[in-house]
């Protein structure tokens, strides 16, 4: 019988699902606005830009609610029953050591992988990048959603700058999403899909191999 360890709480699983789906919809409906010549066929298939803009805004609201809900959850959890929930995603000097050890392993300079905690250096980095991206998207997105309101105290040039910032970060975010998908789900040891983020559980033998600091010391 296979033993499992709880890696993600149900709330983390739900928030990840909502965030991932909403972001995918945002890519599909938003990128054609900035690349109409190359991607204009997408809105054409979906009924036009009027339809995709409605879907884009609905997805943006879902993404915002997922982020806000998760922040509230982390705050309550850190106070009520899991004081280490924030500490586990704060980068430490040991993460830099793990990074260099991972690079050495990848290039055949070492036969040993780094012994990672529950959340390794890549996961911590992704959490903080996603947080910063979400803030930028929400701020710039609000300006673009209600331009007449913001033009009351912003110049037209500033509003247009927000538009280009929104688009540029969308492209950067897509690159990060593809890296995340390839690294997590297309990894040779995980292919065709990493199930722990959907089930919330990880096989104990796998956890002992990849996250020994978590299994042995609760880090």
Q: What per-residue confidence (pLDDT) applies to 85?
A: 86
The per-type count for the chain, helices as H runs and strands as E runs, is 11, 2
Residues 17, 11 contacting (CB under 8 angstroms): no
Q: What domain count does the chain have?
A: 1
47/50 Cα distance (integer angstroms):
8
Q: What is the pLDDT of residues 149-186, one digit of tens each?
A: 999 999 999 999 999 999 999 999 999 999 999 888 88
Between residues 192 and 117, which one has the greater pLDDT? 117
Q: Which of 64, 73, 53 is nearest to 18 (CA)?
A: 64
Contacts of 117 (CB under 8 A, 6+ apart): 88, 94, 211, 213, 214, 219
The 8-class DSSP code of residue 118 comes to: S
Read off the pLDDT band of 218 (50, 70, 90). low
Q: What is the pLDDT of residues 126-155, one digit of tens each?
A: 999 999 999 999 999 999 999 999 999 999
Token pair 């884009």 is at which residue? 56
DSSP 131-160: HHHHHHHHHHHHHHHSHHHHTTTS-HHHHH
* Owning domain of residue 90: 4-217
46/29 Cα distance (integer angstroms):
9
59/65 Cα distance (integer angstroms):
10
CATH number at residue 183: 1.20.950.20
Read off the pLDDT band of 192 (50, 70, 90). confident
Between residues 215 and 58, which one has the greater pLDDT? 58
Query: Is residue 188 over pLDDT 80?
Result: no
CA atoms within 13 A on the CB side of 70: 23
CA atoms within 13 A on the CB side of 217: 8
Read off the pLDDT band of 190 (50, 70, 90). confident
Read off the pLDDT band of 83 (50, 70, 90). confident
Query: Is residue 96 over pLDDT 70?
Result: yes
104/106 Cα distance (integer angstroms):
5
Whether residue 192 is preceded by a cis peptide bond, meaning omega within 30 degrees of 0, is yes
Mean pLDDT of the chain: 92
Tell me what the mean pLDDT of segment 81-93 comes to. Answer: 88
């Amino acid at each position: 019988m296979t033993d499992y360890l709880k890696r993600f709480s149900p709330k983390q699983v739900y928030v990840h699902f909502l965030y991932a789906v909403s972001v995918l919809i945002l890519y599909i409906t938003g990128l054609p606005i900035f690349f109409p010549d190359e991607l204009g066929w997408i809105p054409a298939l979906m009924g036009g830009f009027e339809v995709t803009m409605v879907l884009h805004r609905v997805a943006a609201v879902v993404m915002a609610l997922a982020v806000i809900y998760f922040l509230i959850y982390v705050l309550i959890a850190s106070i009520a029953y899991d004081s280490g929930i924030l500490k586990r995603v704060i980068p430490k000097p040991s993460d830099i050591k793990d990074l260099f050890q991972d690079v050495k392993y990848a290039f055949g300079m070492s036969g040993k992988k780094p012994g990672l905690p529950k959340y390794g250096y890549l996961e911590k980095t992704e959490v903080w990048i996603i947080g910063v991206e979400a803030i930028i998207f929400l701020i710039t997105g609000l300006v673009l959603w209600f331009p007449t309101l913001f033009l009351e105290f912003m110049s037209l040039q500033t509003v247009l700058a927000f538009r280009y910032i929104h688009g540029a970060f969308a492209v950067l975010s897509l690159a990060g999403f593809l890296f995340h998908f390839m690294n997590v789900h297309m990894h040779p040891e995980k292919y065709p899909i990493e199930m722990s983020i959907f089930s919330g559980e990880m096989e104990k033998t796998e956890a002992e191999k990849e996250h020994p600091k978590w299994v042995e010391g609760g880090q």
